[in-house]
Chain A
């Protein structure tokens, strides 16, 4: 019975030859099995933050806040520069450096 099985197997292999296995096939199979069985690691703070950043709502809100902050700071600075330039114009006219 056993010899019949082996003969049948040999015949089957001849009819449908199996392709050769890729290198390190068995090792890779075990690695995948181990990986699937391993407990899921908790996400680090960096991953959590990256996940938050990638959320469209958060990204849009952050961009909006930065835009408003930039425009406000720039306008304030621009006004101060304009005021300073005008002040220096007046000062240069009435109080030259020679007497200051």
Chain B
């Protein structure tokens, strides 16, 4: 069985701006390797600027890797047309990015429509997904994003990412902008959802408690490298100074 995601020696260098001798490239991600199995959530934890989000964007090629290889469900990401690759990867971001001029129904049905599913199948899938993320389809399908609360918007964001049943989901601090109560509510529901979905997930956060709650494994990023990779239990017991710094903050 091929894994939803395999990452090998991934690197990303930003070309330098200076001239001649001073022109040095800056590397934002260096030699990152991990795999994510079906039903598994890898949490990428790290400070701001440690390369977590960059790593995520290298996987769906919003940024093109300068070294290493990414395989999604066994296929080399670099060999696929970029739009086809992205339609196989659910993508959830902190700002959600719902289309404000689309109803909830059209937002969730976006990728199925790009993939030219028959309309009846899209409609059925949208209702199924809204129910899955805890939104009553009859109430919410016809609403516009500005008529939703922040938590409801992110639920729609998750439903949209799952729409075309991708094997892999990338989540970039999906609950980071929510108020604390809504955040905890969504974290709990998400924890329950993870097992049922059976997808590979990469979840970026800087919140240790969130990472320990939701991750099957934790990858700690430090200055563009994966400084630690292990289960939440191993993470708690680790002697790595950066891990300890994070545990002290929890």
| A and B form one complex | no
Binding site for A on B (CB under 8 A): none
